[in-house]
Structure 1
Amino acid sequence: GSEQLFDALRRLSEKKPVVAVVEGMAASGAYIAAMGSDHIIARRNSIVGSVGVIFQFPNVTDLLKSVGVTVEDIKSSPLKASPNPYTPTTPEARAAINSLVMDSYGWFKGLVSERRKLSDQKLDTVTDGRVFTGHQALGLQLVDELGDERTAREWLAREKGVSRDLRVRTWRTSSVGDEFGWLKGSATRLLDTLGLGPLAGLLSQLTGEALERAQLDGLLALWHPRQGS
């Protein structure tokens, strides 16, 4: 997703100027997308960075063992469908996944180096996985300017000759958390299979609320109202 968006923005930039505004967060894949623009603007207390790659997977072998469930499989080779949550992760499977992670990380790090023109020292600092405030990111050259949409319009007018009166169209995504639906669904189905239906329902409810609240407005977001309140 983020790689496709980056490529699309680079193609778009060949026809018209593109500026990215970080209102709350541009971390990991979102930062990849932001780098597809010609100019990155961030609010002072927005969250920027998280340059790195992570591969997480649950392992429920002990849980299944405690309820007397064993999952067996027949596969063509040892690394097929590995790792999986039903058997302990072998060293070979862990090494295979690690190679994927490091290959993707090398691409991500190279993209930051190319797009942001960083020294080796700064590149090492910003690609260790941590996040930065917009203010810190400016000093590290991860963003070009602090500000908001008005700042972006000023930059477009000043640097690209775009009219300040150009109409702004707002596009909004579908409901928050849709992209994580598969994960929530897998967890609830597993609990249902184990006869823990009520817990599955509670997990579904809490996960939805957590995803809504995860859409923070930077470091200063302390409270989000419930829907309908």
Structure 2
Amino acid sequence: MTNRIPTLSREQLKRDWPLLTVLVLLFLLGAYFYPQLPERVPSHWNIRGEVDGYSSKFFAAFGLPLMTLGIYLLMVWLPSLDPKKTNYSRFKGAYDIVRWAIIGIMALMHGIVLMAGMGYEVDAGKLVQPAVSLLLIVIGNQMGRCRHNYFVGIKTPWTLANEEVWRKTHRTAGPIWVASGLIALLSTWLPAPYNFAVMMAVVVVISLVPTVYSYILFKGSAGN
């Protein structure tokens, strides 16, 4: 028995033409600005919004588009690699919304790097944090629709072992992610580094609470 290599179907390409258009535009923007970029381009900012990292002009122009293309292909192929692939059709709309949101974040980051490379003063934190906050809200809003699988969602040993634990964990985690995203969004207007501290606290909450909750659910189900 041979493993089938995942490919992009014509139907997939037709359905994803808006995403593919965004990907092409990212590469075209990189190619357009490449000759005008300096050899070292700001690409990382600390919690106070100060530049503390640089990359080559090639990475500034094409690094993030290439990463975005990789993310797109990965998210297209994951369902075909998952032993529970049939479940993806049950939350296809939610999965597509999350794909759009992630690629939108990558496009924003590419724009920030290009603007910084062209000499514009860019407060990356004030742009990225609201975008990430909105991403948390979008994912949280779709989380309850996510069905049992091995790649997408809250994957703890207990959610993977028990489909009912998976369902209850995601139903509970969704509102937590939405509320946390709203808090992170509002904290954008706090001065640095307080906005960053709130963001880190949000990350801890959305990671830790569902994990602990899934464990409690699993132990409870095992006791019955």
TM-score normalised by L of structure 1: 0.29
> TM-score, normalized by length of structure 2?
0.29
Bigger radius of gyration, 1 or 2? 1
Higher helix share: 2
